Amino acid sequence: MKEFNILWKSFIKEVNTSMIFETLFASLFYSLFIIIPTILIYAQIISMYYHLLNLWIGLIIISVIFIHYFQLILWKKAIYLKKDEVKTNINKLFMYQLFIDSIIIVIIGLLFIFIFIPMMQI
Amino acid sequence: MKELTDYLWPKIKLLLVPYVILMFLLVYRIDFQISAPGGITEVESLIQVDYEVNEIKGSISSTYVISFKRPTIFQFVISDFSPYNQVIILPDYYAHYTDQEIRDISYLQKMTSVDAAVIVAYQNASQVNSEIVFTDSDVYKQILVYGKAAELSNYDQIGLGDEFISMVGVSNNVISAEDIYDTGLENSLVTNMSDEDFHEFTFKGEVGEYQVSLTKTDIEENLSLNQYLLVSQSNIYPKFTEKDSNIGGPSGGLLQTLSIYNMLVEEDITKGLKIAGTGTIRYDGSVGYVGSIKQKIATAYLNDVDLFFIPAIDERYSSHNYLEALAACEEFGINPEGWLIPVASFSEAISYLEGIE
């Protein structure tokens, strides 16, 4: 966690905040082209195979992690396209970021499986 | 943004056509109806009675299916991969309804079926438990709109579930809802309407009372009015509460009745079993037919229920729920002996449960 913070500080120092946000929004924008059909596909599969809901939640967790990974790749690419030489190890920084976000995604998914969905099934 | 766009543009150009096709498959809707297994819902979680009884060891659940009207092409294709799903052409009487109107019909059916369940359960429970207070005066009648054809005059003004209040007849006489209770819809409305003229009707909806002009043809062919018995809670004991639910339709009637009854009597009729089933309940306690039997059997099977109530064969119909259920049991490898229980009435279901050791 300490190394993750150090990497972020160094990254912010090296690549200014406006560039970080600009590249982040660009990566989010292009990720939407995958997110929108994915949401539609899952919503429609769940409506047809509702009895396998927990399986779909499991697959949604995996898909969200993969989409997030894709978005981080786009973000990294956008940064390198703006600035060729970045000394901070972005690969390592984003892997840490993916790991932390994945844990959060898994926790939210499990909350749905064990708490929210049983609550909604009335 | 520009740099990333320039970088991705060759790939986007390559994927554009397949992407547009995919999105079309995901958004374009076709006139079919798909039924798929849903789940079971413990009635106790929906309807609660404020009355202390011994611990209920088992459970009584209604069975719901997912009924998807106007699926997308993608849904239509993927639904074919499951033996539990069924695809049919959207019935004509649903074809002109919007999604909201279909939800309104479903909600109306659910609301009126809960009242029917309460009436039957309280009436039967009051015969075995003297503490239960429920008389005929706790029931009142209402005539509600439960269907409308696309040809109906002033279609948008009349809401599904709205209450009929009165009509101005051919000789300016006012026909009220009470007149219909006594003489029937045909006798009281149609005979007091002229063939050509519009008549003024008063309905009561969410926004209060409103007037609308309708013809004799509208009443005969385009507007479906039905008389319902509803429960007034002011004098009954114990009181009950109904929670909001996103599950609609009348097919949980029998199981709702059994569960409410079980909350009003000393003996636990579940005997520790996980009970589910399907079937509407009529005010006289008889059980009516329902749709999507195959999907309901699949749902019960996937949820490991101990016994499943189904409407018994009724000679008035041409296709029978019980025979459909037997066919579904054979298809899914379920032994129906002692699991699939056909019942014609609420009292038959109670007798069966009382006979379980």
Count of other CB atoms within 10 angstroms of residue A21:
10
Q: pLDDT at position B186, please?
A: 67
Question: How many Cα atoms are found within 13 Å in the side-chain-facing hemisphere of B336?
Answer: 18
- Cβ distance A37 to B8 less than 8 Å, yes or no, reads no
- Cβ distance B75 to A47 less than 8 Å, yes or no, reads yes
Interface with A, mutate which of B4, B26, B78, B301 (most A CBs under 10 A) = B4
Per-residue model confidence as pLDDT tens for chain B (357 residues) = 788 888 899 999 999 999 999 999 999 999 999 999 988 999 998 899 999 888 888 999 999 998 888 899 999 999 989 888 989 898 877 778 888 888 888 889 999 999 999 999 999 999 999 999 999 899 999 999 988 888 888 899 999 999 999 999 888 888 888 888 777 776 778 888 888 889 999 999 988 999 999 998 888 888 888 899 999 999 999 999 988 877 888 999 999 999 999 999 998 999 999 999 999 999 999 999 998 999 999 999 989 999 999 999 988 888 899 999 999 999 999 999 999 999 999 999 999 999 987
Contact criterion met (CB below 8 Å) for B110 and B250: yes
Q: pLDDT at position B170, please?
A: 84
Which residue reads 């009884």 in tokens?
B53
- Cβ distance A122 to B41 less than 8 Å, yes or no, reads yes
pTM: 0.80
DSSP code for B94: H
Q: pLDDT at position A122, please?
A: 47
- Cβ distance B1 to A25 less than 8 Å, yes or no, reads yes
H-helix segments, A49-116: 53-82, 90-111
Which residue reads 């636990």 in tokens?
B268
Of the candidates B295, B253, B248, which has an alpha carbon nearest to the alpha carbon of residue B102? Answer: B248
Residues of chain A with pLDDT under 50: 122
Contact residues on chain B for A25, CB-CB shorter than 8 A? 1
Residue A17, Cβ density class (10 Å: 0-12 exposed, 13-18 middle, ≥19 buried): exposed
Q: pLDDT at position B245, please?
A: 79
Q: pLDDT at position B14, please?
A: 93
Q: pLDDT at position A84, please?
A: 82
What is the number of residues in chain B? 357
Contact criterion met (CB below 8 Å) for B275 and B309: yes
B13 Cβ contact partners less than 8 Å away, ≥ 6 residues apart:
none
pLDDT in tens, A13-44: 888 889 999 999 999 999 999 999 999 999 99
Q: Which residue of B has its CA nearest to A117?
A: B39
Contact residues on chain A for B34, CB-CB shorter than 8 A? 48
Q: pLDDT at position A14, please?
A: 86
Q: Which residue of A has its CA nearest to B63?
A: A122
- Which candidate from A30, A51, A74 shows the least CB-CB separation from B37? A51
Contact residues on chain A for B74, CB-CB shorter than 8 A? 40-41, 44
Contact criterion met (CB below 8 Å) for A25 and B5: no
Q: pLDDT at position B99, please?
A: 82
Of the candidates B154, B255, B271, which has an alpha carbon nearest to the alpha carbon of residue B202? Answer: B154
Which element (helix H / strand E) includes B93? helix B92-95
Residue B351 sits at the vertex; the CA angle it makes with B346 and B357, to the nearest 5 degrees, is 140
Q: pLDDT at position B246, please?
A: 75
Question: How many Cα atoms are found within 13 Å in the side-chain-facing hemisphere of B151?
Answer: 10
Instruction: Please report how the helices A2-14 and A17-48 are oriented relative to each other, as an axis angle in degrees rounded to 10.
Output: 120
AA letter at B28: Y
Enter the tokens of residue B173.
């006489």
Contact criterion met (CB below 8 Å) for A76 and A91: yes
Enter the tokens of residue B314.
């009724």
Measured distance CA(A40)–CA(B19) in Å, rounded: 13
Residue A53 sits at the vertex; the CA angle it makes with A50 and A56, to the nearest 5 degrees, is 115
Which element (helix H / strand E) includes B199? strand B199-205
Interface with B, mutate which of A34, A48, A54, A56 (most B CBs under 10 A) = A48
Contact residues on chain B for A50, CB-CB shorter than 8 A? 36-39, 66
Q: What are phi and psi of B135, to 5 degrees?
A: -125, 175
Q: What are phi and psi of B208, to 5 degrees?
A: 105, -165
